[in-house]
Structure formats: C-alpha cells, structure tokens
Structure 1
Amino acid sequence: MSQNNAYAGFLAAAGHQVVQMEGVDWYAYQGFMMPAYLPHAVPEITAAQARRLLKVARRPFVRWTQGFGSTEPGPWWFVIRRGPYSLQQCSANTRSKIRRGLKRLTVRRASLAEMREQGHAVCVKAAARYDNAGVSSVPHHDDLARRLEAAAAYPDVVEYYAAFQGERMVAFSENHLQTKAAFWENIWYEPESLCDYASYALTHAMLDDYLNARGFNYVTDGSRSIYHQTRVQHFFIDTFGFTHQFVRLHVAYAPVFGRLVGCAYPFRGRITERASARFPVLKKVGALLAQEDVRRSFRMAQ
C-alpha cells in the first residue's frame, strides 16, 4: 500500500484484501474492489488501470467514482453534509427530539475498551430491528475485535462515537477519517434506544463535533444504496439537511463476469421484489443489474 495512505493500512489490518497498483490503493468490499479513499480523495483512475487490477485481485469487478464536487445531477451520489451546522437549522420537532435525546442519553466518543466490552452486544440487538437481516448481518465477535485492534493501530483514521444510558452503550457509529472528512461507515442502534431519540442525539453530536468544533469539510453516510433497503439516508436528508453529492460511477468487469452481466441485463425488469424475497440470490443479481444500468447511463451521456 502507499506509504501516505493510512486508511489503506487500517483496512488491511482490519482484514480486507488490499492491493496497491500504480500508486492507487484498492480494497475488497462485498466481493469486489474499491479505491481505499474517501470520495473526495480518490485519485484519477483509468479503465486500463482497473482492468490490470482485475488480473491481480481476481475479483469479478472493480468500481470507482470520479468528479466529487460536481454540481451536475446524475444517477449516482454520496449522501453528505457540509457545515456549518446548528441546532437552529433543524425543525422545531427535530430540535425537541434532539434535546430529549441529550437529556436521556450521554453522547461522546467511545474508548476502544468500551467498544470491546459492549460494542458487539449493541450490534446483536440492532440486527433484530430488521425482519430480513437477523444475526447473519451481525459481525462475528472475532471480526469486530480485529477491527478494533486495527483502529488502535490507526487512531487518526478510525474512531467511535456512542450513546450511553448510564454506563451502558445503546448505540454507536464507526467513523473513518481522511483529510478533513468523515465517513460514518457503520451505525448501530439498540431498538429501545430509538424511543429515547438516540438517532437524533448521536447525529446531532457528531455533526456539531466534525463540522463545527473540528472544522471538517464534510461528513458522509456513503453512496447510493442499491442492495440494502434502508431509510437511514432519507432520515439524514429529511431531518439534518444532508444532500446528494453527485459523482460519476465507473465499473470494470472481469471478462467472463462482464459477459454474464451483459446477458442478464435485458431481463433486469423481471427480477421483482417478491421473487427476491423468496430467492435471496436474485436480490444480489438485481443490485448488480441496477449498478450496470447506472454505468450504462453515464456511457450514453458521453
């Protein structure tokens, strides 16, 4: 990995496959390769570079974005919030929920010791919120422990924010930091904590810290989701003033996998939500074809 990319170092220490090629660090995510950078810091990448990476990484495809900061709308985006941020920017209803959350809960940065002791239990309870998730979505205890050890080795790259009810952790966010930006990579809430407005209090505290106290350029909850059905990004947009930051999506396929995607693409409309619920593999296929649809839309616009 590049010597100046500590983020790639954390990802490797946390157990991800990391490949450095031609000055660009990549890591394996959900079975494919992505640049090991927050979106504003992704280097210039060519399709030829991506194809060479495919031969080394032995993954079905690689995906990357370019043009962060563009004002031209498009079908791919990151959900971000820039500063300044204040409580008064929120609606009266939201302000009330934030204040109630802050009265009932303590929100602060969590130590790694606290995360080791309580973090996994929060994940287990949080997974129960989702009818179609269950314990399979919970990180294995050993995997979380390895992630925390990696965070200990890279304290300037990863930190944890948490909400506590007394001494008990009821919610937390794993935040990745790079050149004055923060990626809220994972956020977990115990279901009961939502009644105490943990989502409002935690979001408010993190926005106030990153955008105001520490002067970060932006925070992000990640890119457009085409696989997981979640209301989280809508919550951030509708409640806390997050916006879409449009970018250009690029995908390069391994030859055989690319041909399979091309053959399946004409039938993308036949993968219904009902069929995906019965056959989970169809949900993944549907997400791949939705991604291909976005990729083709950019090619048509050229």
Structure 2
Amino acid sequence: MNPSAMADFFERLGHRVVRTKSSYWYDVRRRFYLGFPHHRLIDPSPDELYPFFLRLNGGVRYSGPPESPGRQSYALVCRDRRYDLDLLSSNTRSKVRRGLKHCTVEQLEPSYIMAHGKSVHDDTLRRIRIHDPYPWETYWRAVKESNCVAVWGALIGKTLTAYLVAVLVEGCWEILVVRSLSEFLRCYPNNALLFTVLRQMLSNPQIGQVFFGAESLEGLSSIDEFKLSMGFVKSPIRQRIVLHPFLRPALCNPLAVRAVGGLAHRQPQSEFWRKLDGLTAFVASGGA
C-alpha cells in the first residue's frame, strides 16, 4: 500500500501532512511533526528540514538507521514467518491459550467498533493515563474511509473485550492502537488478539514485517514488555529530534531539565509533564 493512503488517513483525522524528499510528516502535536511511515528509517538533510522552521514549527522527530545521528534506540518489530506458539515463552503460551479459550478473534468492520467499542477505548485511556486526541466519530469515520486500515477484535460471547487497529503501508503492518476492557484482562484478550493477528499477518508472503512502535521518550514501559513477550524484538534504530534553533538552548539548559523533571515527578498523572520530561531528557542525552 502506498504511503499516500496513510497520509490521507492522517488528513481525515485532522492532521496537517507535509511531504519531503525522504518521508511524509504529520503534526502529532501542535507545530511538532513526526515522520511516517513510522517503520521507515530516514536520514534527512538540514536542507530538507529547513522549511519546517521557516513556518515556526517547534521541531520534528524521526527514526534513522543505526549508523545515523541521534540517540541509540529501538523499534519493536516482528518478522518471523514461523511465528507460532512455540516461539513464545511457556508463561506467554499459557496466557495465549487461556485467551483463545475464552475469546473469539476476528476481523471486524469499523462501524462495529464505532458502535460497541467506546467503553473499551475510554477504559484503556484511563488505565494508561493518556488523553484522547480525536473525537470518537471522527476517528472511526477516517478508519472506515481508509482502505489501508484494518480492525480486529476479541469477543467473549457478544461482548467486545479488546480491539486492534493497524495500517498497511509498504509491505508492513503498523499496529497503531490496542484497546481492552480492564474487567476482562484476567481472560487475556490482548494475548489472544495479538497472537492471532500476528500469525495471520506474517503468513502473507507480501508482508515483510509487523511494526508496533518505537521506544517511548519516557523509557521502557510495561506495554513494551508485553510486546516483547508476544514475540516482538528490538530492532536497532537511531531516534532523532531536530528542534527549532530558538527552542534548543532552553530545552538543553540543565536548570530547565531539572525543573521539568521535578514537575513530572510531582504530577505523575499529567501526560503533558511526562512527555515534556521525556523530551528534555532525550535532548539532554544527545538525541537532538
């Protein structure tokens, strides 16, 4: 699937999309752009990025090859076409089997999730302490209108307990979100869902890999640990953030780094301060 289809999807979500020589970019935050397709490793020149700062944008973030500038990091990918239960640990195999015993996993229409998935979505965002960047109806209309996006769900009886959204681009399935109901986690719907979808995706010879995000600026999380337990591996990359020249001195200032870190520590429920703390720590560690 051509990256332009993914660009159309982000525009339907309300993002501004920019295309440059090496990549596409969307405003993941106000005046802060992220390169996509997310699995693509790029090394843009200063001349390529210069127009972003003429428009007074705060910065750009992208993933580059292991030998390029930036902070040593990783992407979580699965490329093993032999993917099956025997590649997982005994503990994870047990969770997958228990999940499959309780759940039915199937590809679903976006309209079904739009009608039945709001409680699953809201419950997950409360659990992982992030805010929803999109109105519910806007998101699912964009999914429905985008032929590069697909949805799978795990059901117990008629109850939707978990769902997954992925986009197909350049022979890679990029998993965008996984949502689940807290009250059913003891039935391991996430394990059953991810195992079934991964095995289905990797059985297709036209699919080279499944991508499930890069290392968070906030560091290794329990979410990454779950992905690793399900068969994803850390593929070496370099993450880089290029800031507007006016912003860099402020974010590199040791006093600012300590102040932001203190505020994030005192307000652990604040997504804003957690992310700003991760950004300043990233810049201080040489990622910019």
Short-chain TM bin: 0.7 to 0.9
In structure 2, the residue matched to 1:121 is 119
What is the match of residue 181 of structure 2? 190
Structure 1 residues 21 and 279, CA gap change in structure 2 (3 angstroms):
closer
User: SS of the counterpart of 2:57?
Assistant: coil
User: CA shift at 1:249, angstroms?
Assistant: 2.3
**AA matched with 2:210:** V
Structure 2 counterpart of 1:212, one-letter code? S
2: CA distance, partners of 1:4 / 1:226: 25
Alignment of 1:144-223 (within 5 A): 144-155=136-147, 157-213=148-204, 215-223=206-214
User: What residue in structure 2 maps to residue 137 of structure 1?
Assistant: 131
Q: 1:149 to 1:92 in 2, by over 3 A?
A: same
Residue 266 of structure 1 deviates from its aligned partner by: 5.6
Contact 1:21 1:53 in 2 (8 A): no
Q: Which residue of 2 aligns with 1:35?
A: 35
> Is 1:289 matched up with 2:280?
yes
Letter in 2 for 1:253: L
Cα offset, 1:166, TM superposition: 1.5
The runs of 5 or more residues in structure 2 that have no matched partner are none
**Cross-structure match for 1:11:** 10
User: Contact between 1:65 and 1:247, CA under 8 Å: does it hold in 2?
Assistant: yes
Distance 1:8 1:278, change over 3 A: closer
Shift of 1:34: 1.4
Counterpart residue number, 2:231: 241
On the 8 A contact 1:47/1:252 being kept in 2, the answer is no
**TM-aligned CA deviation for residue 202 of structure 1:** 0.8
Change (3 A) 1:116 1:37: same
CA contact (8 A) 1:180 1:215 kept: yes
The residue that corresponds to 1:261 in the other structure is 251
CA drift of 1:213 comes to 4.1
Residue 123 of structure 1 contacts residue 138 of structure 1 at CA under 8 Å; is this kept in 2?
A: no
What's the offset of the Cα at 1:138? 3.9
Are 1:83 and 1:212, in contact at CA under 8 Å, matched by a contact in 2? no
Aligned 8 A contact 1:65 1:249 in 2: yes
CA pair 81-4 structure 1, distance change in 2 beyond 3 A:
closer
1:22 positional shift: 4.9
Deviations 1:206-240 (A, max 9, x none): 11111124652111220111248741111121x22
Following the alignment from structure 2 to structure 1, what is the Cα–Cα distance between the partners of residues 60 and 141? Answer: 28
Residue 251 of structure 1 pairs with residue 249 of structure 2: no
In structure 2, what is the Cα distance between the partners aligned to 1:82 and 1:22? 27
Equivalent residue letter for 2:249: R
Output the CA distance in 1 between the equivalents of 2:28 and 2:213. Answer: 13
Question: What amino acid is aligned across from residue 184 of structure 1 in structure 2?
Answer: I
Residue 36 of structure 1: how far off its partner (Å): 2.8
SS at match of 1:256: coil
Contact 1:184 1:219 in 2 (8 A): yes
Q: Which residue of 2 aligns with 1:108?
A: 106
Q: Which moved more, 1:19-28 or 1:162-171?
A: 19-28
> Hey, what's the Cα distance between the residues in 2 that align with 1:228 and 1:123?
23
Which residue identity does 2:38 align to in structure 1?
Answer: L
Partner residue, 1:98:
96
Query: Displacement, 1:88?
Result: 1.3
Change (3 A) 1:149 1:187: same
Change (3 A) 1:277 1:90: closer
Letter in structure 1 aligned against 2:108? A
SS of aligned partner of 1:192: helix
Deviation for aligned residue 1:24: 4.0
C-alpha distance in structure 2 between counterparts of 1:87 and 1:162, whole Å:
20
Residues 66/128 of structure 1: CA separation in 2 closer, same or farther (3 Å cut): closer
Q: How many residues align?
A: 282
Which whole-Å CA distance do the structure 2 matches of 1:151 and 1:4 have between them? 15
Q: After TM superposition, give the deviation of residue 23 of structure 1 in Å.
A: 6.9
Compared with structure 1, are the counterparts of its residues 35 and 232 closer, same or farther at alpha carbon in structure 2 (3 Å cutoff)? Answer: same
- 2:73 corresponds to: 76
SS at structure 1 position matched to 2:107: strand
Distance 2:27 2:112 in 1: 28
Once the two structures are TM-superposed, the CA of residue 54 in structure 1 deviates from its matched residue by 2.5
